Structure 1
Amino acid sequence: MPTSSPLSRLSADGPVRDGIPDHGRVPRYYAVKVELLAVIAELGEGSALPTERELCERFEVSRATVRQAVGELVLEGRLSRRQGSGTYVAPPKLVQPLALVSYTEGLRRQGIRPGRTLITLERRAAGTGLAADLRIEPDSEVLHLERVLLADDERVGLESTFLRADKFPTLLDDFDPEQSLYAHLRDELGVVFDGAEERVETVLATPREALLIGTNPALPMLLMHRVSWGPDGEPFERVRSLYRGDRLSFVTRLSRVE
Structure 2
Amino acid sequence: MSDAADPHAPIRAGIPEHGRVPKYFAVKTRLESVLDELGEGGLLPTERELAARFEVARETVRQALRELLIQGRVRRKGRGTVVAGPKLVQPLSTSSCTEGVRRQGRTPRRQLIALEQLDADPVLAGELRIGAGAPVWHMERVLLADDERVGLESTYLAVSRLPGLARDFAPDTSFYAFLREHLGVEPVSVDERIETVLATPREALLIGTPPALPMLLLHRSSRDANGEPLERVRSLYRGDRFSFTVHLDKKA
- Is structure 2 residue 51 aligned with structure 1 residue 33? no
1:106-255 correspondence runs (5 A): 106-255=100-249
Amino acid at match of 1:60: E
Amino acid at match of 1:72: E
Amino acid at match of 1:56: A
Of 48, 53, 68, which aligns to 2:48? 53
What's the secondary structure of 2:222's corresponding residue? strand
Q: Contact between 2:176 and 2:186, CA under 8 Å: does it hold in 1? A: no
Aligned to 1:3: none
Aligned to 1:64: 59
2: CA distance, partners of 1:14 / 1:97: 33
2: CA distance, partners of 1:149 / 1:93: 15
1: CA distance, partners of 2:226 / 2:120: 21
Q: How far off its partner does 1:257 sit?
A: 6.0
Q: How far off its partner does 1:43 sit?
A: 0.8
What's the secondary structure of 1:32's corresponding residue? helix
Q: How far off its partner does 1:135 sit?
A: 2.2
Change in 2 beyond 3 A, CA 1:171/1:53: closer
Q: Contact between 2:216 and 2:236, CA under 8 Å: does it hold in 1? A: yes
Q: Contact between 1:16 and 1:31, CA under 8 Å: does it hold in 2? A: no
Q: How far off its partner does 1:55 sit?
A: 2.3
What's the secondary structure of 1:67's corresponding residue? helix
Amino acid at match of 1:237: E
Aligned to 2:85: 91
Same amino acid, percent of matched pairs:
61
Change in 2 beyond 3 A, CA 1:75/1:15: farther
What's the secondary structure of 1:217's corresponding residue? coil
Task: Give the TM-score normalised by structure 2.
Answer: 0.91
Q: Contact between 1:93 and 1:249, CA under 8 Å: does it hold in 2? A: yes
Task: Give the TM-score normalised by structure 1.
Answer: 0.89
Q: How far off its partner does 1:243 sit?
A: 1.0
Q: Contact between 2:187 and 2:230, CA under 8 Å: does it hold in 1? A: no
Moved more, 58-67 or 110-119: 58-67
Corresponding residue pairs, total: 246
- RMSD, aligned CA: 1.9
Aligned to 2:3: none
What's the secondary structure of 2:43's corresponding residue? coil
Moved more, 219-228 or 51-60: 51-60
Q: Contact between 2:11 and 2:17, CA under 8 Å: does it hold in 1? A: no
Moved more, 125-134 or 235-244: 125-134
Q: How far off its partner does 1:20 sit?
A: 2.4
Deviations along 1:112-132, whole A, 9 cap, x unmatched?
A: 111111111112211122112
Q: Contact between 2:88 and 2:243, CA under 8 Å: does it hold in 1? A: yes
- Is structure 2 residue 13 aligned with structure 1 residue 21? no
What's the secondary structure of 1:142's corresponding residue? strand
Deviations along 1:150-192, whole A, 9 cap, x unmatched?
A: 1111111111001122222222221111111100001110113
